[in-house]
Structure 1
Amino acid sequence: MDPLDVISNLDKVIPYFQPIYGADTQNCIGIEVVGRMNLETLHSLEFFFANDLVPDDYLLEVDNHILIQALDEVLRTKFDGGIFINRHPSALLSDDPENLLTILQSYEEKGIKLSKVVIILQHQLFYGFEKELKNLITYYQTYGIKFAINSVNDKLINLEKLRHLSPDIIKIDFKMVQQLHTASFQDLLNSVIYVARKIGASMYYDGIIDSIQLRNAWKNGGRFYQGAYLCKPQASITKANYECEPLKNDIVKFIRGEKSKLIALRDMTNLIQLRVESAINKYKLGEDINSFLLSISSELNSFCFRMYICDEDGFQQSANLFKLYGEQWELQHQYKGRNWSWRPYFLETVLKMQSNDQGQLSDMYRDIETGEKIRTFSYPMSNGNYLYIDLSYDFLFKHNELLF
């Protein structure tokens, strides 16, 4: 379909409404307004708004036509949730900001609060115009209008620019990232979540088509959820699924599953601590630290491949005791004296051990030298020393609770 077909059939362009659900209420907290054209069949207008050749005035005309109908529907149904509207950044910037504000304020007089309005922008569509867009966002935010930026797409994103724009909501569209490898997507997602936390933005996940994606959204800090799995776009707000049973049922399952994993992880951590304490008590730490490591290796051989001892500042007091093959251990003296305080969470972990006098199990991470995914168990010893034990991947693999 040609974009001109949309302009010439503007009377056939109508809004559809897709519910957005809140993680806290687990009910519909808002609706996203999406454009449809009702000819002989119903057509999505994504092709129209994604076409770079469509003039800004055409985009504005269609956007405003959809918006006014949607706001009328909100008034008719007395809907009190959030109203999420899509705007093309180029069209938004080319227009007088008062024009959109005038439309919204005319409906504010009828009872629709500006604080209920959320404007969604596509991140990849405003490269090079961040400064102008930042000023516009700030201007609208003074009226209580919120902004959501759809941040992840098939191109690399600039996290610093995303942080500079400081949207109220960061949107993740699963449809846009299906081509990414799972690990790549998770790395990218972790970066976006970090930015969201720093700027105080809520995470909003769209395009959820099954329970697996819903779990990913829930596990990755999602406050808002949307997608065909929960409810498809509807012709009327009244037809929206306000009480979403799949969401409520799944979240209960997610909570139970996560608690089970955490309990199993806690129990395994306690078991490792008992083994370590037993070995330490059996072979008292003396002046020869390396001999001590060799002694306790026989007790801990089944689950670790490397051990070393550091002081509270991260300076290594011993050699590395490294398992080469099978049961063979080797002392690597070149590591003595190295400092590991630069590692993420190293000093924080030391302070935790000082505070509770208990061992600490790290998150999963990839070891620099072996390339394998490992965890490290650290344990406070006497005289301000700390024992570090790297758990082998084989051991982690045998205990699923250690692999997340």
Structure 2
Amino acid sequence: MQVKNIKIPPRHEIRPYYQPIISLQSQEIIGYESLGRWIRDGGVESLGPFFQDPDISEDMQLMIDRHLREQAIERVAESPYPSKLFINLKPSWIYRTYKRTGVLPTIELAKKYQIDPSQIVIEITEEEFKGQLQELTWIIELYREFGCTIAIDDVGSGFSNLDRIASLQPKILKIDLNILKKSIVHDGYRALLQSFSILSSQMGASLLVEGVETKRELHTALHAGARYVQGFLFSQAEVDLQQPDAYKGMLAEELQRFGQGQFERYSQLLTVHEGLSTLIHSSAGISNADEADAVLEQMIHNVSDNCIRMYICQGDGYQTSSNYTRNEEGWSKNESYRQANWAWRPYFISNILMMNVQKQGTLSQVYTDLDTSYQIQTFSCALGEGYYLFLDLMI
């Protein structure tokens, strides 16, 4: 059959394929993204271009999609391994269908096949949405009330904007694969990936990183705080579901390697702290900027090579010392930072409180340094008498 010279796949030639989504927490497959495939001429083709073609009517796309959706729900309902099914839905499909019919077909299919609603993940796809966001949010809430999980796909791409994320309050943020790949070689994208990690934790959502093709990309996802991963490193979309522990051995090995690297890095920070302890205990007599600078000048040769900046502040956020910054020629001193206030930085007050309670140094979250654009963390520890040492460490 043809519409506007565009070939429409016959229903008997289409079927869902399943790409596994793996939990880094359990190292097991916890679900599958359902992806449409056209089986013809002895080959398998993606139906992605069909669903993205603006010349194909929405009704035709919906007819094919619902056929695929029903097959996928039936397959997961019959599986001996309880798995989540990630179903891609355009926001315009959800909005217009419900406005026209008052029915959400996915909920009806879940009831028909008696699948636990918690196994259904409604993945809101990347698409420009021209309807009322408040109304869409109310409709999406019907899925949530039924027991489905809400996810947003391609976070970081053009149309998956922050307003939509804030309004829909998803439980899973799925990161656009281009951000993952660019973050490996570009500081700006690395910072963007890290920002979505912080956003997900603030919202009580889990981060799912897709497009993981190499072990290096897996470690990038781990650094970003991903809970779930998906990609060709594990499997492409397959016609059958897989054993839940199919990738457990490989993941356990990579998690051990990642954990060891993190342990070594934090051990180095502990060594820095211990190496400074003698100087710290002798520095309780700070009462002015010159005395604070003298303490830092004693410490310069004891800090690690990745320390790019040192300064001393009081508990109210005001900097007492000069800034000591490492450059190619060595360390330079900048007195203009005396009396700068850093209480506006998100880590500052919380770190001060933690140091006072725990009586030990603390480490900030990773962030991008304003002056150098390096990815850094700030190590801080109390000096006594209300003064605190800060070391900016390049990672």
Interval of TM-score (by shorter of Structure 1 and Structure 2) = 0.7 to 0.9
- Which residue pairs with 2:172 in the alignment? 169
How much does 1:183 deviate? Answer: 2.0
What is the distance in 2 between the residues matched to 1:248 and 1:28?
A: 13
- Which residue pairs with 2:84 in the alignment? 82
- Which residue pairs with 2:149 in the alignment? 146
In structure 1, stretches of 5+ residues that fail to align are 392-401
- Stretch of structure 1 that moved more, 214-223 or 179-188: 179-188
Q: Counterpart of 1:30 in 2: which secondary structure?
A: strand
Aligned counterpart for 1:71 among listed residues 70, 73, 78? 73
Aligned counterpart for 1:209 among listed residues 208, 213, 219? 213
What is the distance in 2 between the residues matched to 1:323 and 1:18?
A: 48
- RMSD over aligned CA atoms reads 3.4
- Which residue pairs with 1:52 in the alignment? 54
- Stretch of structure 1 that moved more, 121-130 or 173-182: 173-182
Gap change, CA 1:264 and 1:55, over 3 Å in 2? same
What is the distance in 1 between the residues matched to 2:121 and 2:328?
A: 59
Gap change, CA 1:93 and 1:268, over 3 Å in 2? same
How much does 1:153 deviate? Answer: 4.8
What is the distance in 1 between the residues matched to 2:331 and 2:77?
A: 75
Pairing 1:118–2:121 present: yes
Q: Counterpart of 1:194 in 2: which secondary structure?
A: helix
- Stretch of structure 1 that moved more, 200-209 or 261-270: 261-270
Gap change, CA 1:160 and 1:329, over 3 Å in 2? same
What is the distance in 1 between the residues matched to 2:97 and 2:200?
A: 28
Matches within 5 A, 1:288-307: 289-291=289-291, 293-294=293-294, 297-298=297-298, 300-301=300-301, 303=303
- Which residue pairs with 1:251 in the alignment? 255
* CA deviation string 1:316-348 (max 9, x = no partner): 44555678995786572x544443322232222
Q: Could you tell me whether the CA contact under 8 Å between 2:153 and 2:176 is conserved in 1?
A: yes
How much does 1:156 deviate? Answer: 7.1
Q: Could you tell me whether the CA contact under 8 Å between 1:148 and 1:170 is conserved in 2?
A: yes
What is the distance in 2 between the residues matched to 1:376 and 1:157?
A: 32
Identity, in percent, stands at 27
What is the distance in 1 between the residues matched to 2:326 and 2:75?
A: 69
Q: Could you tell me whether the CA contact under 8 Å between 2:191 and 2:375 is conserved in 1?
A: no
Gap change, CA 1:145 and 1:348, over 3 Å in 2? closer
Matches within 5 A, 1:22-37: 22-37=23-38
- Normalising by structure 2, we get a TM-score of 0.83
Q: Could you tell me whether the CA contact under 8 Å between 1:381 and 1:387 is conserved in 2?
A: yes
**Count of residue correspondences:** 386
Equivalent position amino acid for 1:183 in 2? D
Matches within 5 A, 1:200-349: 200-237=204-241, 239=242, 242-244=245-247, 245-271=249-275, 273-274=276-277, 276-277=279-280, 281=282, 285=285, 289-291=289-291, 293-294=293-294, 297-298=297-298, 300-301=300-301, 303=303, 308-318=311-321, 332=335, 334-349=336-351
What is the distance in 2 between the residues matched to 1:39 and 1:203?
A: 36
Q: Counterpart of 2:189 in 1: which secondary structure?
A: helix
Q: Counterpart of 1:96 in 2: which secondary structure?
A: helix
Larger-Rg structure = 1
- Stretch of structure 1 that moved more, 61-70 or 7-16: 7-16
Q: Could you tell me whether the CA contact under 8 Å between 2:24 and 2:228 is conserved in 1?
A: yes
Q: Could you tell me whether the CA contact under 8 Å between 1:315 and 1:339 is conserved in 2?
A: yes
What is the distance in 1 between the residues matched to 2:325 and 2:378?
A: 14
What is the distance in 1 between the residues matched to 2:274 and 2:377?
A: 15
What is the distance in 2 between the residues matched to 1:360 and 1:130?
A: 42
Equivalent position amino acid for 1:267 in 2? T
Q: Could you tell me whether the CA contact under 8 Å between 2:91 and 2:127 is conserved in 1?
A: no
Q: Counterpart of 2:267 in 1: which secondary structure?
A: helix
What is the distance in 2 between the residues matched to 1:362 and 1:199?
A: 20
Gap change, CA 1:361 and 1:276, over 3 Å in 2? farther
Q: Counterpart of 1:214 in 2: which secondary structure?
A: helix
How much does 1:83 deviate? Answer: 1.4
How much does 1:371 deviate? Answer: 6.2
- Which residue pairs with 1:108 in the alignment? 111
Q: Could you tell me whether the CA contact under 8 Å between 1:316 and 1:336 is conserved in 2?
A: yes
Gap change, CA 1:177 and 1:56, over 3 Å in 2? farther
What is the distance in 2 between the residues matched to 1:193 and 1:79?
A: 30
- Which residue pairs with 1:38 in the alignment? 39
What is the distance in 2 between the residues matched to 1:153 and 1:323?
A: 34
How much does 1:296 deviate? Answer: 5.6
Gap change, CA 1:260 and 1:66, over 3 Å in 2? same
Equivalent position amino acid for 1:60 in 2? L
Q: Could you tell me whether the CA contact under 8 Å between 1:83 and 1:116 is conserved in 2?
A: yes
What is the distance in 2 between the residues matched to 1:102 and 1:341?
A: 51
How much does 1:284 deviate? Answer: 7.1
Gap change, CA 1:6 and 1:266, over 3 Å in 2? farther
What is the distance in 2 between the residues matched to 1:176 and 1:364?
A: 17
- Stretch of structure 1 that moved more, 135-144 or 242-251: 242-251
- Normalising by structure 1, we get a TM-score of 0.81
Q: Could you tell me whether the CA contact under 8 Å between 1:73 and 1:236 is conserved in 2?
A: no
